[in-house]
Structure formats: C-alpha cells, structure tokens
Amino acid sequence: MSKNYVAALILSLMLPFFSIAQDSNLGNWLIYFGNKQLNQKWNLHHEVQYRNYNAIGDLEQLLLRTGLGYTFNESKNNVLLGYGYILSENYVDNSDNKTSVTEHRIYQQFISKQNIGSVSLSHRYRFEQRFVESDFKMRFRYFLSAKVPLCKPENGNSKFYLSAYNEIFLNTKTSIFDRNRLYGGLGYNLSKNVRIEAGYMNQFFETTSRDQLNIMTFVNF
C-alpha cells in the first residue's frame, strides 16, 4: 500500500463531515495529552479535556484521565490501566437549565502502532467500567488513527502533518451503539516532544449529531 493511497483514504474519511451532520451545534474542545516516560518500558499517561457547548465558557464536560502503561514489542505496543473523572453539565429538556452528572471510570486499553512508509497508523482498543452517579455501565471503544507528513522531514521529523481518526463506542447492554466520532485535522510539531493540532470532529448518535472544533496539545516528558 503506497503513501499516496493511504493519504487518499484519510482525505476520504474527512469528506463525510459535511454531509452526516444532523441537527448539529458547533462546540469547542480544548485538550491536553501528556505522557511521562518513567523508563524504557513504563509510562504515565495524563490528560485534561475541557469541552464546551459553544466556543468557550458554556461547559459541556470536564474530563480528567490518567493511567499507567507498559510498552513492549520494540515500542510498537502498549497496554495501560487507567482512571478517569468526568463532570458533565447537561441541559434539561431543551431548556436553559442544567444538571450536573459525575462519573468515575476505570479503563483498560491496548495500543498497536505501525508504519506504512512515512504514514503512521494507530489502533486503540479500550474497555471501560463506568460508575455514573448510582448507575454502572460498561463500554467498548475502537479507535483507528492515521498521521501523514505534509512536507519534507527535517532531521527525520516533518513539521506539518495531516491527522484523521474514527472511533466507535459500543455498550454492553441494550442500545449497543453508543456513538461514533469522525475527525480530521492539521498538526504542527513544535519540537521532538511537543506538538499542537487543530481539527474538526463530528460525533453522531442514532438520530442526532454534534460538531466540535478540537484544539489539542501533546507533550512527551
């Protein structure tokens, strides 16, 4: 599979954003991903996501997540056990009133990485045990992402890159399909350990969808 063919597939993933939105409102997610290498095998993951119904200031969800991971197979695979705290501010019955919902989440995940030429692919399988107020739920997620450099690499690292992913969420009980997220964006490598990315994401459910502008920062320590 050639680099051009993979790039064409990623672009085709991005095109449906403009056709699948139904009753969608544009929001904004500000996201920080951090990764601390404890040694060659072990890593500490941490992230903060500040999700808004609008550009900023109308909180939809605050997500704090951390986890301890172990890398093997020449750094191609990683398994991780983690915990997440989620505070959701949900509107009630299409009114201006909100209700707060707190969730504690335990999750296990497996990541597999591969390269096709200069294109980077990543598969993530995540299983979640969710304690939502007094309710208990479980959910499976599959995440497929691709990253394509857009210019000639400098010192083995291209400054600009194209990013795309699709992630599906499946519940273990009734109403198996939970949601699907489709994303495309443009990234910039500030250094070997820091990069920023901005993109557009459509999150759709059975009958409705939501659009978000995502601004992300990735830091490796």
Q: In terms of Cα–Cα distance, which of 146, 144, 142 is closest to 169? A: 142
151 membership: H or E segment, kind and range: none
**What's the pLDDT score for residue 219?**
96
Let me know: does 59 contact 89? Beta carbons within 8 Å: yes
**What's the pLDDT score for residue 109?**
98
Q: In terms of Cα–Cα distance, which of 35, 54, 30, 31 is closest to 45? A: 35
Q: In terms of Cα–Cα distance, which of 124, 170, 179, 127 is closest to 146? A: 124
What's the pTM value of the predicted model, to 2 decimals?
Answer: 0.86
Q: How far apart are CA 141 and CA 50, in angstroms?
A: 21
Q: Beta 209-220 vs 26-37: how paired, if at all?
A: parallel
Residues of the chain with pLDDT under 70: 1-24, 152-157
**What's the pLDDT score for residue 19?**
40
